[in-house]
Amino acid sequence: MKKNTLTFLFCIFVMSLIQAQEATVKGRVIETNSGEPIPNVQLSIEESIYNTTTDANGIFTITDSNLPLGEQILLVEKSGYITLRFPITIQSGSTVNFDPLLMEVDFADAQSQIGFISLADDELDDDDGSSTNVSGLLQASNDVFLNAAAFDFSATFFRPRGLDNANGKVLINGIEMNKQFDGRPQWGDWGGLNDVQRNRDFSMGLTPNDYAFGDLAGTTNIVMRASQYRQGGQVSHAFANRSYQGRAMGSYSSGVTANGWAYSVLVSRRYGNEGYVEGTLYDANSFFASVEKIINPSHSLNFTAFYTPNRRGRSTAITQEVFDIKGNQYNPFWGKLDGDIRNARTREIEEPVFMLNHYWTISDKTRLNTNLGYQFGKIGNSRIDNNGTTLVTFNGQDTYVGGARNPEPNYYQRMPSYFLRFENPTANDYQNAYLAEQEFRNNGQFNWENLYLANQIATNGGKNAVYALQEDRIDDTQITANTILNTILTSNITLNAGLNFRSLKSENFASIKDLLGGTGFLDIDSFAEESIDVDAGDIAQSDLRNRNRIVQEGDRYKYNYEIDATVVGGFAQAQFKYRTIDFYLAAQGSQTSYQRNGLFENGYFPGERSFGKSEKLDFTDFGAKGGLTYKVTGRHLIDFNAAYMTKAPGIRNSFSNARQNNDVVIGVDSEKIQSADLSYIYRSPIIKARITGFYTGFEDATEIGFFFTQSFQGQGFNNDAAFVQEVTTGIEKRHLGGEFGIEAQVTPTIKLKAAGSLGQYIYNNNPNIYYTSTDFDGPKTFGDGTTKLKNLHLSGGPEQAYQLGFEYRDPDFWWVGATTNYFSNGYVNVSKLRRTDAFTTDIDGLPFNDFDETIARGLLQQEQFDDYVLVNVVGGKSWKIDDYFVGFFATINNVFNQEFKTGGFENSRYSDYRKLVEESNRDTPIFGSRYFFGNGTTYYINAYFRF
């Protein structure tokens, strides 16, 4: 026994001696053609825990006494490059040195750029009351499922895990770019900069990111530092028929020069008179410059600026009736003027960003990155203001003449359904419906000349403009400062910490963009209805301190207020890496404050109710998350993440009617989020696979909607019709589901892949809801003050998406791929008003006497969209000519021109039982749900030249 023990101890000793002899794998990774070192390449010894990344000089080292000995596979990966697998032999005490290790640019990387392009370019408007925003986490990565989501699912607003892009964080050089207004990144601010945005650090979901605490849907840090670009340039030109018709881009980077300077510039232009949808003009220029001075090995100072003014013609969701007549390319917002397309609703974004970044390598284990960001500029959305009036003072009383109707060609009173709205249509009704249908079919565009004509008549009569082009503006000025520490405490523990500060002044106002030939525009609300004790001349005023003002082009009118927002926060994160388990813990805290400052004294809300400073809103938030990766073997991994956090609401959801008053949302609170996911990951030389189950619960979410309704019965005012602000608070949501991705390199040239997601994203309670309006006093509620949303589905893309695809990569530098994608379980965005007791309330405040529960259930059934299949094809080729690369790639999306709905929302105009019964009895409803329709077959082709 004793002997055995001794032998055992001896063996241990010998083994430890042997193991104490370190083995080393090291080398330098350079790009095949340029010979430039490649930073941030991930290297790992397959089926082991050992991994590392290259530094800025492309150098890496893996050294440990426990390296697996014998024949091993070294895996060399970096997004945008072809993955390498090197067979190596590791011997105890010896070193394997690769110098150089050549990596080749993956021309299929171009494909990833498309995914990103379409994301940034197609981001849709959310001002129609829908929330069909694509998710912020869509981007190229090494994950099969996310790639499918980015390239093939994005066309239909599929959102991984049902999360909206306000749930993902986008950083540029470590500075958070999500807007305080709604938490979403404004992609337009850096559109067209693709060539200089290839360096990205992406953390999926809750997994740790070195720059920030992050968010549920992941964190992306885009590195735009002059020293991080390889020396060389690229010009490219693309042609497409999606959002733009063409894109020209040229970029050049100096690389780091001998004296430590580096420069990078890019200019690009995207243009098109219309995209796939009619009248959607695209006019965007992008400019980027970055200069960096590497002062010494410890200090480097970088300056980056980009300016991407863009102007786009918008389109909108349309009813089934409009779609049936005009199809999925129809857009009511444009019309011809002097032979040119003019879109009444354009969006202009001009928000240049300037950054100063300091990189301080304090020691070889500790780095401190300090950033200062400044952004200013404007976001403007235009629309026609058709309520121009002229003051007539009679006997000392103000009245207003003029004002016209909505000039849009799809206005409901111009639709065939409107003429068939009565129960037993007459022959004349059918005739009128037919004429309306023919008129809309043949002449369904905006008539600009009529607007100019009206203003000409007004001018000749000495009156103000009837129509004007209005622009709703958000002019933000924002300063951001942060500092991020990264220190390696031990070989197993890395600590990240950061402090950040953000100060925003947001000016919000409407202004006159074009008087359309008129002489001036009277700044009053012509919808103001006087009651016995209130003079219309008072309540109609946009600014009581400046009554009956006539405004000119460029003047502010209607509403004018500022929001001051300040955010102070910090995070700390520790990452632990051990042989069989990696884990992390992170925590953050922040203080957010908002205050509105009214610059107009609104006639409906005189005094402090609208003018001057509002109550100051303060939110204190914290979050904690943790997770672990357990390496069962090198091939089998289990990954688990969990988080609890609170999030301050965006500015948008904090003030109930910011355009008119200082009111804050009653019961506004930070959102509480709990989230967890569990994955099984399998990696072999042939197969890569992941399957994940996920859960996220939201509590205390707030939503605000604005609409006109005729179903506001029993509230004690005359005609049940009101333009309301709908404030929903205390919303609980539950996201539950699973996703998977698998890819098999069946031959060196052929890869098969499959991915899918199955989720259920629902409201989990009946939240509180109240309404405010200038048509009645005070907040109003129905019944118990809730809306019955529990178990209804959230809108926003299909809940189920599946993909099968392949890629063929010919050794002769061409490649082709195709995917088939199946989508189902998309749901319409429900009207909340219909799910309140307004639905059952008659004008006297009592329930309808003809209420039939079975019929009611049918009326409130949430619409589920039809499922559909989209087939996408992509391919490309490249040539090397001397030291230059020439190549192209092309994609065709929706090859079979499948028609499909990507989203939609119910109309709250009719929300009561009786009106909805009438609507359901009509062949075509007057106020039917409006839908977003997907694109038919589209192409994108890009040719490039690299030098």
Partner 1 sequence: MKTMNFNKIVMVLLAFVVATSCVKDDDFDIPNLNIDEPNINAEDIIQIPAVAGELAQSDEDQVTYSETGKFMVGYVVSSDEGGNFFKQLILQDKPENPTVGIKVLVDVSPLFVTYEVGRKVFIKLDGLTVGTSNGVLALGVRGEQRPDRIPFPKREEHIIRSADVATIVPKPLTIEQFSMANTNLMIRLTDVQFTRSELSKTFAAEPNDQFDGERKLEQCSNSRVVVLSTSTFASFKGVTVPEGRGTIDAILTRDFFDEFYTIYLNDLTALNIESSERCTSTNCGLANAAGPNELFADDFENQTINTPISGNGWTNFIQEGTEPWEAFEDNGANQSLGISARCGSFNSGDDSTISWLITPQIPLSNANNATIQFKSSSSFADGSEMEVLFSSDWDGTPANITNATWRVLSDARIVQNNDFFGDWIFSGLVDITCIEDNGYFAFKYTGSGDSNFDGTYEIDEIIINSF
Applying the rule CB under 8 A, the residues between 178 and 237 that interact with partner 1 are: 231, 233, 235, 237
Among 817, 686, 804, CA closest to 744: 686
Which residue's entry shows tokens 């499948």?
898
Query: DSSP code of 829?
Result: B
From the CB of 454, what's the least distance to partner 1, in Å?
Answer: 3
Cβ nearer to partner 1, comparing 462 with 778 = 462
Q: Which two tokens stand for residue 751?
A: 């890869």
b (16+ CB within 10 A) / e for 384-403: bbbbbbbbeeeeeebebebe
Can residue 453 be called a binding residue for partner 1 (CB under 8 A)?
yes
Stretch that binds partner 1, among 77-85, 359-367, 459-467, 726-734 (CB under 8 A): 459-467
Cβ nearer to partner 1, comparing 344 with 724 = 344
Q: Which amino acid is at 575?
A: Q
Q: Are 420 and 435 in contact (CB under 8 A)?
A: no
Cβ nearer to partner 1, comparing 36 with 514 = 514
Cβ nearer to partner 1, comparing 248 with 687 = 248
Residues from 425 through 444 that contact partner 1 (CB under 8 A)? 426, 428, 431-432, 435-436, 438-439, 443
Q: Which amino acid is at 520?
A: G
Cβ nearer to partner 1, comparing 289 with 568 = 289
> In whole angstroms, what is the distance from residue 228 CA to residue 354 CA?
18
Stretch that binds partner 1, among 218-226, 255-263, 636-644, 662-670 (CB under 8 A): 255-263
Can residue 495 be called a binding residue for partner 1 (CB under 8 A)?
no
Q: Which helix (H) or strand (E) segment is 323 a member of?
A: helix 320-326
From the CB of 227, what's the least distance to partner 1, in Å?
Answer: 13
Cβ nearer to partner 1, comparing 311 with 558 = 311
Q: Which two tokens stand for residue 235?
A: 């010009």
Q: Is 111 helix (H, G, I), strand (E, B) or coil?
A: helix
Q: Are 466 and 357 in contact (CB under 8 A)?
A: no
Q: Which amino acid is at 256?
A: V
From the CB of 237, what's the least distance to partner 1, in Å?
Answer: 7
Residues from 871 through 890 that contact partner 1 (CB under 8 A)? none
Tell which one of 158, 282, 334, 611 touches partner 1 (CB under 8 A): 282
From the CB of 254, what's the least distance to partner 1, in Å?
Answer: 4
Radius of gyration of the chain (CA): 30
Can residue 265 be called a binding residue for partner 1 (CB under 8 A)?
yes
Stretch that binds partner 1, among 86-94, 119-127, 261-269, 569-577 (CB under 8 A): 261-269
Angle between helices 853-860 and 913-921 (to 10 degrees): 70
Tell which one of 268, 478, 592, 891 touches partner 1 (CB under 8 A): 268
From the CB of 273, what's the least distance to partner 1, in Å?
Answer: 6
Q: What is the DSSP string of 140-187?
A: --S-HHHHHIIIIIGGGT--GGG--GGGSEEEETTEE-B-TTTS-B-G
From the CB of 818, what's the least distance to partner 1, in Å?
Answer: 31
Residues from 94 through 123 that contact partner 1 (CB under 8 A)? none
Residues from 32 through 61 that contact partner 1 (CB under 8 A)? none
Can residue 259 be called a binding residue for partner 1 (CB under 8 A)?
no
Tell which one of 69, 73, 102, 267 touches partner 1 (CB under 8 A): 267
CB atoms within 10 A of CB 490: 10
Convert residues 644-673 into a mask of x (bound to partner 1 by CB under 8 A) and - (unbound).
Answer: ------------------------------
Q: Which amino acid is at 532?
A: I
Among 718, 818, 719, 708, CA closest to 773: 708
Convert residues 393-422 into a mask of x (bound to partner 1 by CB under 8 A) and - (unbound).
Answer: -xx-x-xxxxxxx--------x--------
Q: Are 173 and 210 in contact (CB under 8 A)?
A: no
**Burial classification of residue 656, based on how many CB atoms lie within 10 Å of its CB (0-12 exposed, 13-18 middle, 19 or more buried):** buried
> In whole angstroms, what is the distance from residue 753 CA to residue 744 CA?
6
Cα 494 to its chain centre, rounded Å, is 31
Tell which one of 36, 42, 82, 255 touches partner 1 (CB under 8 A): 255
* CA–CA distances in Å: residue 202 to residues 110, 137, 221, 336, 628: 18, 9, 6, 45, 18
Cβ nearer to partner 1, comparing 299 with 405 = 405
Cβ nearer to partner 1, comparing 254 with 819 = 254
From the CB of 380, what's the least distance to partner 1, in Å?
Answer: 10
Tell which one of 93, 246, 607, 845 touches partner 1 (CB under 8 A): 246
Q: Which amino acid is at 470?
A: Q
Cβ nearer to partner 1, comparing 102 with 235 = 235
Q: Are 526 and 470 in contact (CB under 8 A)?
A: no
Can residue 843 be called a binding residue for partner 1 (CB under 8 A)?
no
Can residue 245 be called a binding residue for partner 1 (CB under 8 A)?
yes
From the CB of 473, what's the least distance to partner 1, in Å?
Answer: 15
| Contact partners, residue 3, CB within 8 Å, separation at least 6 | none
* CA–CA distances in Å: residue 851 to residues 788, 839, 917, 922: 17, 10, 10, 19
b (16+ CB within 10 A) / e for 751-789: bebbbbbebebbbbbbbbbbbbbbbbeebbbbeeebbbb
Q: How many residues bind partner 1 (CB under 8 A)?
A: 76
Among 899, 895, 892, CA closest to 241: 892
Stretch that binds partner 1, among 117-125, 128-136, 262-270, 919-927 (CB under 8 A): 262-270
From the CB of 918, what's the least distance to partner 1, in Å?
Answer: 22
> In whole angstroms, what is the distance from residue 417 CA to residue 68 CA?
74
Is it true that the peptide bond before 160 is cis, omega within 30 degrees of 0? no
Residues from 462 through 481 that contact partner 1 (CB under 8 A)? 466
Q: Is 460 helix (H, G, I), strand (E, B) or coil?
A: helix
Tell which one of 4, 5, 363, 460 touches partner 1 (CB under 8 A): 460
Cβ nearer to partner 1, comparing 518 with 904 = 518
Cβ nearer to partner 1, comparing 255 with 738 = 255
Stretch that binds partner 1, among 27-35, 449-457, 796-804, 831-839 (CB under 8 A): 449-457
Residues from 519 through 558 that contact partner 1 (CB under 8 A)? 526, 529-530, 536
Cβ nearer to partner 1, comparing 852 with 883 = 883
Can residue 293 be called a binding residue for partner 1 (CB under 8 A)?
no
From the CB of 402, what's the least distance to partner 1, in Å?
Answer: 6
Can residue 457 be called a binding residue for partner 1 (CB under 8 A)?
yes
3-state helix/strand/coil string of 183-199 = CCECHHHHCCCHHHCCC
Cβ nearer to partner 1, comparing 31 with 164 = 31
From the CB of 267, what's the least distance to partner 1, in Å?
Answer: 5
Cβ nearer to partner 1, comparing 134 with 249 = 249
Residues from 325 through 384 that contact partner 1 (CB under 8 A)? 337-338, 340-342, 346
Can residue 456 be called a binding residue for partner 1 (CB under 8 A)?
yes
Q: Which amino acid is at 430?
A: Y
Helix, strand, coil shares, percent, the chain, to 5? 15, 50, 40
Can residue 448 be called a binding residue for partner 1 (CB under 8 A)?
yes
Q: Which helix (H) or strand (E) segment is 440 a member of?
A: helix 427-443
Longest dimension (CA), the chain: 120
From the CB of 264, what's the least distance to partner 1, in Å?
Answer: 10
From the CB of 625, what's the least distance to partner 1, in Å?
Answer: 43
Cβ nearer to partner 1, comparing 252 with 848 = 252
> In whole angstroms, what is the distance from residue 894 CA to residue 871 CA?
5
Can residue 517 be called a binding residue for partner 1 (CB under 8 A)?
yes
From the CB of 374, what's the least distance to partner 1, in Å?
Answer: 24
> In whole angstroms, what is the distance from residue 9 CA to residue 711 CA?
85
